Amino acid sequence: MTFKRMLQAVETHSGIPMRVITGGVPHIPGHSVYEQMKWLEAHDDGLRKLMLREPRGYPALCCNLVVPAKHPDAAAGYIIMEQVEYPLMSGGNTIAVATALLETGMIAMQEPVTEFQLEAPAGLIGIRAQCERGKVTQVTFRNVPAFAVHLERTIDVPHLGKVTVDVAWGGMFYVIADVRQFPHLRLVPEQGHEIARISALILKAAQDQLPVSHPDYPGYGITIAQLSGPTDNPAADWKNAVTMASGEIDFERPETWTGALDRCPCGTGTCAKMATLHAKGQLALDQDFRHEGVLGIVYTGRLLETTAIGTHPAVVPTISGRAWISGFSSHVLDPEDPFPEGFRIGDIWA
């Protein structure tokens, strides 16, 4: 049989499932991974939908496409794909891609430490992987600069009232709210539905009321909401729950007040949080910031130096965490399949 598509992937997770496509995609035009991402979005967005929607995916799944690097200093490139967007950068996905490349031998592993650079759509990402007996035990990556855009802003959120938020860039624009504004809510898996409901409403209100812009990437707005608060975990300093949208949010349609919780501590979200803490004078350079996700997994962040992005004071962060390979897969598209871009049904999709 001749299939319309046949794709090979490494299945990984860092809490959240992150698929790494390693074969089956032909040449993608572009002089940088950013240009390749924009070409894919414009000309072959069906690939993202095919791999992330049912029957091959579900709302919390992320996906990465490994491509040859365009930058001469990078060992490989990767395009990040999520349910409603192509992020310029993702921390958990970066850790997953680095782990998959090393543990499958696509990049030669050197023990006890392997160092290389990956080219994300946002630019070069420095990787330092601790390796032992053929396994990657920790990945530390140097991210693009992070910066705060709005601090302690009060927005009117329909169905919730007034909510105080921060907005920051950590590779994506995040709206961040302290969970203690909602006394009934705890950042635990059992309250995932309510976390997603509240986060979706805050996200939509922030998109409507708080303008943002990145001088290097025009057109990118706030796309993710983060609830954060204290933790009782002695191995962490703070806790968060990031909700990724799985569709358009409409204040008049309660069935859209949802999303998928990031099952990992969220690398770019941690960078955004650290940027707001630094801007408030609450996090110094060269200080570990241990950020816990809803499953109890912890990423460790650190701010290395200050810089500037346009007129925004910014910081250069690193994130350390781990991912695990959970399987190897081949995905095919039958030429007679009536759903060549997958499908969504409203019981679990927005």
Domains (range + CATH), the chain:
5-143+324-333 (3.10.310.10), 147-320 (3.10.310.10)
Q: Is 47 helix (H, G, I), strand (E, B) or coil?
A: helix
Listed residue (197, 247, 239, 192) closest to 223, CA to CA: 247
- At 284 the pLDDT is 98
Catalytic residues: 90
- Indicate the pTM of the whole model: 0.96
Tokens of 219: 């057109």
- At 36 the pLDDT is 98
Query: What backbone torsions phi and psi does residue 221 show, to the nearest 5 degrees?
Result: -110, -165
Tokens of 309: 């992005």
Determine how many CB atoms are found less than 10 A away from the CB of residue 79: 29
Q: Which pairs with CB-CB distance under 8 Å and at least 24 residues apart come from 334-337? A: 334/1, 334/3, 334/4, 335/2, 335/3, 335/4, 337/4
- At 1 the pLDDT is 74
Q: Is 99 helix (H, G, I), strand (E, B) or coil?
A: helix
Tell me the residue ranges of DSSP E strands in the chain.
5-13, 17-23, 62-67, 76-81, 113-120, 123-132, 135-142, 147-157, 161-169, 173-178, 222-229, 238-244, 260-261, 289-292, 298-309, 312-321, 324-333
Angstrom distance (rounded) from CA 108 to CA 118: 14
Q: Give yes or no for a contact between 71 and 274, defined as CB atoms under 8 angstroms apart.
A: no
Per-residue pLDDT tens listing for the chain (350 residues): 799 999 999 999 999 999 999 999 989 999 999 999 999 999 999 999 999 999 999 999 999 999 999 999 999 999 999 999 999 999 999 999 999 999 999 999 999 999 999 999 999 999 999 999 999 999 999 999 999 999 999 999 999 999 999 999 999 999 999 999 999 999 999 999 999 999 999 999 999 999 999 999 989 999 999 999 999 999 999 999 999 998 899 999 999 999 999 999 999 999 999 999 999 999 999 999 999 999 999 999 999 999 999 999 999 999 999 999 999 999 999 999 999 999 999 998 88
